[in-house]
Amino acid sequence: MAVIHRTTLSPTKLELLTAWLPTRPWYVGPTRPSLVKSGGFRLDDPQGEVGIEFMVVTDTSGDGPVPYFVPLTYRGAALAGAEDAFIGMTTHGVLGQRWVYDGCHDPVLVERLFALLDGRAEPQAQSESDTPDRTISHSGPGGPLGDAAARATDNPTGTHLSTRDATLRVNRLLRPAAAGPEGANGHVSGPWRTPEGAEVRGVFAELRTE
């Protein structure tokens, strides 16, 4: 299980994301966002090497708040061939230098996300060690769905993770939804908080199989 350290990060995650988000095709706000942390969860890396976090951040710089779903990975060294997915470097008060990546382009996170859908992984609390997150709902058709070889494609609505038999649509722009997406073969959904403190739920990712 991942250990959550009560320590410092410099620069912070929000500072890294403030510079990175405007470079994404699915970002809809002004040039420089104003971000607040709104929710999220984690998954464990079975090898214990890569930190895996699914963060919800809300941009309050525009006319209305816009929540984004941002999967992140934290590594102790650079990931070869992932220069386009690199978000930035930060210094962790316990672990030292960490390389931060867009997790949809990191094979460890992608494999674990498919594992969540087919029941081989369990969502973990974002800020507590060894604590399952029961607020995250996830479902799939059963059986292995994909692996780290999934091809990631960014577009104006999110990121598609495509395998030979399925496409997992990661929704970067979040909208409240009372139920899973119609016609999907599986999904991951969960809560986040609005800037006013209200809790809402929506779909983080939806699976479409061939």
pLDDT of residue 185: 85
In a domain, 1, yes or no: no
In a domain, 2, yes or no: no
Least confident range of 33-42, 150-159, 181-190 = 181-190
Total domains in the fold of the chain: 1
Percentage of the chain with pLDDT > 90?
Answer: 72
In a domain, 140, yes or no: yes
pLDDT of residue 108: 96
Q: Compute the average pLDDT of residues 41-52.
A: 95
In a domain, 163, yes or no: yes
pLDDT of residue 1: 60
Q: Decide if pLDDT at 49 tops 80.
A: yes
In a domain, 3, yes or no: no
The structure tokens listed for 84 are 């386009």
**Hey, what's the torsion of the CAs at 100, 149, 110, 204, to 10 degrees?**
120
Question: What b/e sequence results for 52-85 when a residue is b if at least 16 CB atoms lie within 10 Å of its CB, and e otherwise?
Answer: bbbbbbbbeeeeebbbbbbbbbbbeeebeebeeb
In a domain, 48, yes or no: yes
CA distance 114 to 188: 10
> What's the pTM value of the predicted model, to 2 decimals?
0.93
Q: State which residues form the domain around 133.
A: 9-209
pLDDT of residue 147: 61
List pLDDT tens digits, range 60-100: 998 899 999 999 999 999 999 999 999 999 997 777 799 99
pLDDT of residue 96: 73
In a domain, 4, yes or no: no
